[in-house]
Amino acid sequence: MLHFKLSRLREDVPALLKLAGPLLIGQLAVITFGVLDTAMTARYSADDLAALAMASAIFISIYVGLTGVVSALAPIAGQLFGAKRYSEIGEEVRQATWLALGLSILGCFILLNADHLLAISQISSDIEDKARLYLSILALGLPASMGMRILMGLHNAVSRPTVITVVQLIGLGLKIPLNLLFIYGGLGIEGMGGPGCAVATVIINWSWLLMTLGFVLFDRFYLPFKIFERFSLPDWPRIWTLLKLGTPIGFSYLIEVTSFTFMSLFIARLGTTALAGHQIVANMGTVIYMVPLSLSIATMTLVSQSIGANKPERAEEIGWSSVFFTTTLCIIIGIAVWVFRIQLLDLYDPPEEVKAFSIPLFLFIAFYQIFDALQVTAAFILRAYRIAFWPMLIYAGSLWGVGLGGGYLMGFNVLGNTPTFLQGANGFWAGNSISLGLAGCLLLYLFRRTAERYEKTHPPVEL
């Protein structure tokens, strides 16, 4: 049965916004890191910027896959928090730490032996050396990143995202001076160029971890969770539970990232103007995406807590309220993006030919918001129910198959009957938009069936 009542929006939306607000600020702070790295390295040299771009693409692909696995802690801990089984949260955190340690070793091995990945680009040896150094430095910070992801999952699960946001904003404040120091040099330190960004990032990653651990150690709020009460050896059944949920989540993240990465690689064949226009629109889309993403994370928290409290009908109500509110908000954002497309483009101040190329792509961004809101909200709701395998298959079929495959056919007019408007970069954006719409519909159907099945097998608590 579909549980959605407009009257519930008055209760659900404020709760969602209370959690999503700090999450959005934190997400934007993290995005700003990449913007600062790109802008400051670009002033150093074109070679360093090329090395940064290539190394970042490799690192992000590895990072999102590995951190996606440990993000399974959030819905599991959220259900335990809703069920008031607080001490078990501490055990889950300890087991997630063991999992993160193993994944960190794997990730570091890949980052330190990335020669085959770097060779794909066939760039000059100087740029390849800089990219290799960049990845080697980031390997030193990967364990801290994995540990921080566990603490983020914990804080989201217990409705305390503000702690993470404060720490992220402090890190953002450190980023500019550290970048200046290690990219350009100073205080007796020789400038490193692009790899200096990695040094700054590693320092901030370990600072984030230590600051957040400080909150958890000394704030009485965390005492019921008994995180540091005892040492736990690896509990393989618990770790296996985390892996069963986290591995498909990690692959889902990887599918999303690689679908955009390959989209950019294909569009690069159309020339520098096409690639520049695509990058501007893609960057804008990434910033806007933080709105539905933050609301979706907040939704997962509230739904998982309701499931843990054995209130399945309430969990479904929150889910549908979020779908309605998030999609409506993103429709408004999409309309605003189309109406103010010229003003938004002027913020990037691109050459006139790039601006002219980019304007038609804004039509896809406007529609894109609707489909993106549907798919990301449904995906995070399903994670609250501990459903991740089928969403992973849906993402693979839609984003890789329909999005990239369909975009390739339209963009390069492979079949010879593609309308002119859907050729070139427009075709790739159209394919991606259609794929997200398909994923959204399938994920919403899966949510509905999952909620109905869950209510039948878990009768609600009688008040």
Digit-coded pLDDT (tens) for 58-68: 888 888 889 99
pLDDT of residue 80: 95
Question: pLDDT: is 207 or 370 the higher one?
Answer: 207
pLDDT of residue 1: 44
Q: Which of 362, 386, 385, 382 is nearest to 374 (CA)?
A: 382
The full length of the chain comes to 463
Indicate the range of 146-160, 257-271, 331-345, 389-403 predicted with least confidence: 257-271
pLDDT of residue 6: 60
Q: Which of 34, 41, 38, 36 is nearest to 184 (CA)?
A: 41
pLDDT of residue 4: 53
* Rounded distance between C-alpha atoms, residue 155 and residue 147, angstroms: 13
Query: Residues 389-395: what's their mean pLDDT?
Result: 95
For 255-287, the pLDDT digits (tens) are 988 888 788 778 777 777 777 777 778 778 888
Query: Residues 377-403: what's their mean pLDDT?
Result: 94
For 409-456, the pLDDT digits (tens) are 998 888 888 887 788 888 988 898 899 999 999 999 999 999 999 888
Query: Residues 392-419: what's their mean pLDDT?
Result: 90
Q: What percent of the chain is predicted at pLDDT more than 90?
A: 53
Which band of pLDDT confidence, cut at 50, 70 and 90, is reported for residue 303? very high
- pTM of the shown model: 0.89
pLDDT of residue 5: 59
Q: Which of 116, 137, 122 is nearest to 56 (CA)?
A: 137
Q: Which two tokens stand for residue 334?
A: 């999409």
369-385 burial: b if 16+ Cβ within 10 Å, else e? bbbbbbbbbbbbbbbbb
Which DSSP state fits 256?
H
Question: pLDDT: is 363 or 324 the higher one?
Answer: 324
User: Which three-class secondary structure state does DSSP give residue 415?
Assistant: coil
* Rounded distance between C-alpha atoms, residue 353 and residue 450, angstroms: 49
Q: Which of 147, 273, 279, 274 is nearest to 207 (CA)?
A: 147
* 463 pLDDT more than 50: no
For 73-98, the pLDDT digits (tens) are 999 999 999 999 999 999 999 999 99
pLDDT of residue 121: 56
With a CB cutoff of 8 Å and minimum separation 6, the contacts of 423 are: 410, 411, 412, 413
Indicate the range of 77-91, 108-122, 224-238, 360-374 predicted with least confidence: 108-122
Strand partners, 190: 185
User: Which three-class secondary structure state does DSSP give residue 279?
Assistant: helix
Query: Residues 16-44: what's their mean pLDDT?
Result: 85
Q: What percent of the chain is predicted at pLDDT more than 70?
A: 96
* 369 pLDDT more than 60: yes
345-357 burial: b if 16+ Cβ within 10 Å, else e? beebebeeebbeb
